[in-house]
C-alpha cells in the first residue's frame, strides 16, 4: 500500500514541488519506507528527487529548490514483498518513449507472466522485483507501438486500455509524460483508491490534483473532487480541462475493505464513505457481537483501545456497551525507525518501545482491549501480557475485523499465510495463543455493512475468506512467499553486518543485482538552468 499524488498548476511560473511536498505530509501514513517526487519543467525536462525514508527527510529544502516545473507526481512507499529489500523508490522512470514516470499504489498478481512478456516479446529490461516497474514498462511498450514522434490523448487512452488488458491485480496510478501532462487510472475492480479534484484560482484558471485520499484535496483547497471509477482513466494536459475515458469495462466494484479497517486516515472519504463513520459503525456492531458472545462471562469493567487506529471504534463500542472508556496505553510518538547496529540484539520488543500501560487503568479490572485487527498475533500477545502485568483481572480482546486467515495480495504486505495467527485456527485456539481470556471477532457481514455506500456494496475481503476478487491466485502467492523468504535472507545478512557466514551471493537468486543506489537519487536532471 502506498500514497500517490499528482498536481498540474495552471500558472507555469509556479513550481509545484512545495505543494507536492505538503501533500505528501497528508499521505505519509500510507508509506514511510521511501518517498519521491518528479516534476516537469517548461522545456519538458524531468527533475527528480527520491530516496529511502520519510518525506521530510528526503525532501530537504535544498533538494526541493532543484525541482522545477508546474506539474509533477509524488509517491510514498509502503514496503511490499517486491520492493522492501531494494532501495528502488518511486516514481519509476523510462526515457523511451517520450519520458514517462509513474507512481503506483497496489500490486500486480500476474507479474511473472508480465516479466516473461517484457523479456521475450518487447525486449525491455527490468532491474528490480517491483511490479510497478513492470507496469510502467508494459505501458511504455504499448506507446512504442504507435511509432509516432508525438502522441495525443486518444493514443494514450488506447495504450492504457491495452496495458490494463495485460495486467491483473490492484492498481491506482499517476503517471507523467514529460512536457505533456499527467495521467491517472484505476484498476477495473477499483481495489485501490484514487480521486481527482479541481481548484479555481483568482484569475479563473484551474489547478488539478490526483490523490490517494480525499484529505489532501480538501486540505489544499481542491473543493470539487470525486473518486475515479473502476477502470477509468483521466488525462490532465498541461493546459486545459481533464479528459476522462472508461479505458476498460469495469468489473465488480470491490474496494479493499482494509482501507476502512486500518489504512486510510479517519478524515478521508473514500468511494463515498467516511472512514471515520465506518469505524464508528464498526464499534457499534462489535458491541452487539460482544453482548451476544459474552453472556455467562464476567462483566467488562472498562474498554481500552490499542492505539491509534482502533480508538474511534473502541470509543463507540464503550458507549454502545455502556461501559467506561479509558486510554490505558500511551503511545510514544517519537519512536520512528530504530537503528539496529550490526550484531546488536533488540532488547525490547517493538510493542513495548511504542506503548506503555498505565497500572491505574488496569488494576483489578476486567478489561476489554479493542484493536483494528489481529495479524500474526505477536503484537496482540505482547499487549495482553502488558495488560496483565499492569494488574488486569481478566483480559478480553476484540478485533474490529474478522480473523485474518489468508495472505493480502493487493499491496498490504501482512505476512505469509502460515505466519498468520488466524490461519487454520479456531477462535479458541487464537485466544490461547495470544493469552487472552476470550477473543471476539467482528463478523464479516457486519464489517461489510459498516463500509457500504450508495456507490459500493461489495469489497475485496480475500484476507478473511481466501476468495480474491481477481480470481484464484495460488501461483502468485507462492511467488510472493519466495520473494519474502529471499528478502528475509538479505535482511538477516545486512543485520549481521555480513558476519554470519552468508555471502552476498548466497542471499540472492542468480541473475539479480544487489541494489547499490545512493540513499537519495536526483539522477534524471537537476541542472538548474531553467
Ligand atoms: C495477466 O492477466 C490478465 C487477466 O487474467 C490476462 O488477460 C493477461 O494476458 C495476463 N498477462 C500476461 C502477460 O500473461
Ligand atoms: C516508424 O516510423 C518511421 C518514421 O516514420 C519509419 O521510418 C519506420 O519504418 C517506422 N517503423 C516501423 C517499425 O513501423
Ligand atoms: C490444519 O490443522 C489441522 C489440525 O489442527 C492439521 O491436521 C492440518 O494439517 C492443518 N492444515 C494445514 C493446511 O496446515
Q: Could you write out the DSSP letters of every residue in 252-266?
A: ----BTHIIIIIS-T
Q: How high is the pLDDT of residue 515?
A: 44
* Dist CA 497 CA 520 (whole Å): 22
Nearest atom of ligand 1 to the alpha carbon of 117: 13
Q: What are phi and psi of 143, to 5 degrees?
A: -65, -35
pLDDT for 518 equals 55
**pLDDT per residue as tens, the chain (530 positions):** 799 999 999 999 999 999 999 999 999 999 988 999 999 987 889 999 999 889 999 999 999 999 999 999 999 998 776 555 456 889 999 999 999 999 999 999 999 999 999 999 999 999 888 899 999 999 999 999 999 999 999 999 999 999 999 999 999 999 999 999 999 999 999 999 999 999 999 999 999 999 999 999 999 999 999 999 999 999 999 988 999 999 999 999 999 999 999 999 999 999 999 999 999 999 999 999 999 999 888 899 999 999 999 999 999 999 999 999 999 999 988 765 545 444 445 556 778 888 999 999 999 999 999 999 999 999 999 999 999 999 999 999 999 999 999 999 998 877 788 899 999 999 999 999 999 999 999 999 999 999 999 889 899 999 999 999 999 888 988 888 887 787 777 767 666 655 544 444 333 333 333 444 557 777 776 655 44
- CB–CB of 264/195 below 8 Å? no
pTM of the model: 0.91
CATH T-level topology, domain 274-465: Rossmann fold (3.40.50)
Q: How far apart are CA 455 and CA 339, in angstroms?
A: 44
Mutate which of 119, 120, 167, 251 for ligand 1 pocket (most atoms within 8 A of beta carbon): 167
Residue with cell 518517498: 35
Cα distances (Å, whole numbers) of residue 118 to 134, 136, 405, 410? 8, 11, 34, 22
Report the helix count and the strand count for the chain, using DSSP H and E: 18, 22
Tell me which ligand sits closest to the C-alpha of residue 162.
1
Q: For residue 158, say whether it is annotated as part of any ligand binding site.
A: no
Question: Which DSSP letter does residue 351 get?
Answer: H
Residues 213, 3: Cα–Cα separation, whole Å: 8
**Which atom of ligand 1 lies closest to the CA of 110?**
1
Cα separation, 291 vs 268, whole angstroms: 30
Pocket lining: 248 vs ligand 1, CB cutoff 6 Å:
no
> Does 129 count as an annotated binding residue?
no
Residue 386's nearest CA partner among 374, 404, 369 is 369
Encode burial over 165-188: b for 16+ CB neighbours within 10 A, e otherwise. ebbbbbbbbbbbbbbbbbbbbbbb
Identify the pLDDT of residue 229.
98
Cβ–ligand 1 contact at 198 (below 6 Å): no
pLDDT tens-digit readout, 338-354: 454 444 455 567 788 88
Among the bound ligands, name the one nearest to the CA of residue 150: 2
- Quote the ligand 2 centre to 141 CA distance (angstroms): 15
- Whether 162 is in the pocket of ligand 1, judged by its Cβ within 6 Å, is no
487 C-beta closer than 6 A to ligand 1: no
Measured in angstroms, how far is the CA atom of residue 153 from the centroid of ligand 2?
21
CA 434 – CA 384 distance, rounded (Å): 7
Q: Where do the domains of the chain lie?
A: 3-254, 274-465
Distance between alpha carbon 60 and the CA centroid of its chain, in Å? Answer: 23
Residue nearest to atom 9 of ligand 1 (CA): 166
Active site residue 2: yes
| CA 9 to the chain's CA centroid | 26
- CA 296/CA 287 separation, integer angstroms: 16
pLDDT given for residue 490 in this prediction: 72
C-alpha cell read off for 400: 474490529
User: Could you tell me the distance, in angstroms and rounded to a whole number, from the CA of residue 229 to the centre of ligand 2?
Assistant: 36
171: cell is: 492498481
CA 148 to ligand 2 center in whole angstroms = 8
CA distance 174 to 102: 6
Q: Which of 110, 124, 126 to mutate to test the pocket of ligand 1 (most atoms within 8 A of CB)?
A: 110
475 is known to lie in a ligand binding site: no
Q: Partners of 71 in the beta sheet?
A: 8, 40
* Domain with residues 3-254, CATH architecture: 4-Layer Sandwich (3.60)
| Per-residue pLDDT at 521 | 78
Amino acid at each position: 500500500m502506498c500514497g500517490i499524488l499528482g498536481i498540474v498548476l495552471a500558472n507555469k511560473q509556479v513550481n509545484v514541488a512545495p505543494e507536492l511536498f505538503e501533500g505528501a505530509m497528508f499521505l505519509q501514513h500510507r508509506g514511510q519506507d521511501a518517498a519521491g517526487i518528479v516534476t516537469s519543467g517548461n522545456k519538458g525536462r524531468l527533475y527528480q528527487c527520491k530516496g529511502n525514508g520519510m518525506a521530510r527527510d528526503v525532501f530537504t529544502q535544498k533538494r526541493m529548490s532543484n525541482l522545477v516545473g508546474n506539474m509533477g507526481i509524488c509517491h510514498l512507499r509502503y514496503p511490499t514483498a517486491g520492493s522492501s529489500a531494494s532501495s528502488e523508490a518511486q516514481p519509476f522512470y523510462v526515457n523511451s518513449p517520450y519520458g514517462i514516470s509513474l507512481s503506483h499504489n497496489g500490486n500486480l498478481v500476474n507479474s511473472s507472466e508480465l516479466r516473461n512478456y517484457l523479456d521475450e516479446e518487447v525486449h525491455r529490461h527490468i532491474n528490480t522485483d517491483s511490479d510497478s516497474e513492470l507496469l510502467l514498462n508494459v505501458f511504455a511498450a504499448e506507446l512504442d507501438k504507435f511509432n509516432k514522434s508525438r502522441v495525443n490523448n486518444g493514443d494514450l487512452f488506447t495504450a492504457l486500455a491495452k496495458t490494463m488488458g495485460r495486467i491483473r491485480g490492484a492498481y491506482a496510478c499517476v503517471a507523467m509524460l514529460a512536457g505533456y501532462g499527467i495521467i491517472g487510472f484505476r484498476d477495473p475492480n477499483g481495489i485501490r483508491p484514487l480521486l481527482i479534484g479541481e481548484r479555481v484560482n483568482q484569475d479563473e484558471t484551474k489547478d488539478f490534483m490526483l490523490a490517494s485520499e480525499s484529505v489532501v484535496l480538501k486540505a489544499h483547497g481542491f473543493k470539487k473532487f470525486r473518486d475515479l471509477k473502476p477502470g477509468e482513466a483521466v488525462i490532465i494536459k498541461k493546459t486545459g480541462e481533464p479528459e476522462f475515458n472508461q479505458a476498460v469495462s469495469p468489473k465488480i466494484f470491490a474496494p479493499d475493505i482494509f482501507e476502512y479497517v486500518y489504512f486510510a486516515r479517519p478524515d478521508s472519504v473514500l468511494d463515498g464513505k467516511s472512514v471515520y463513520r465506518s469505524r464508528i459503525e464498526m464499534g457499534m456492531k462489535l458491541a452487539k457481537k460482544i453482548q451476544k458472545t459474552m453472556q455467562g462471562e464476567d462483566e467488562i469493567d472498562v474498554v481500552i483501545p490499542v492505539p491509534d487506529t482502533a480508538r474511534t471504534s473502541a470509543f463507540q463500542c464503550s458507549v454502545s456497551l455502556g461501559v467506561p472508556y479509558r486510554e490505558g496505553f500511551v503511545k510514544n510518538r517519537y519512536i520512528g525507525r530504530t537503528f539496529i547496529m550490526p550484531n546488536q540484539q533488540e532488547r525490547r520488543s517493538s510493542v513495548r518501545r511504542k506503548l506503555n500501560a498505565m497500572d491505574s487503568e488496569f488494576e483489578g479490572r476486567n478489561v476489554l482491549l479493542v484493536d483494528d485487527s489481529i495479524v500474526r498475533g505477536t503484537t496482540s500477545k505482547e499487549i495482553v501480557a502488558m495488560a496483565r502485568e499492569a494488574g488486569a483481572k481478566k483480559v478480553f480482546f476484540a478485533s474490529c475485523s474478522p480473523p485474518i486467515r489468508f495472505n493480502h495480495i493487493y499491496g498490504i504486505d501482512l505476512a505469509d499465510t502460515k505466519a498468520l495467527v488466524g490461519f487454520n485456527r479456531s477462535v479458541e485456539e487464537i485466544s490461547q495463543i495470544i493469552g487472552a481470556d476470550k477473543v471476539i471477532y467482528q463478523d464479516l457481514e457486519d464489517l461489510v455493512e459498516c463500509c457500504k455506500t450508495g456507490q459500493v456494496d461489495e469489497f475485496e475481503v480475500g484476507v478473511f475468506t481466501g476468495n480474491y476478487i481477481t480470481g484464484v491466485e495460488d501461483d502468485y502467492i507462492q511467488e510472493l512467499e519466495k520473494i519474502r523468504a529471499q528478502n528475509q535472507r538479505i535482511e538477516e545478512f545486512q543485520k549481521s553486518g555480513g558476519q554470519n557466514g552468508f555471502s552476498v551471493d548466497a542471499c540472492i537468486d542468480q541473475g539479480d543485482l544487489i541494489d547499490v543506489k545512493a540513499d537519495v537519487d536526483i539522477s534524471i536532471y537537476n541542472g538548474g538552468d531553467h
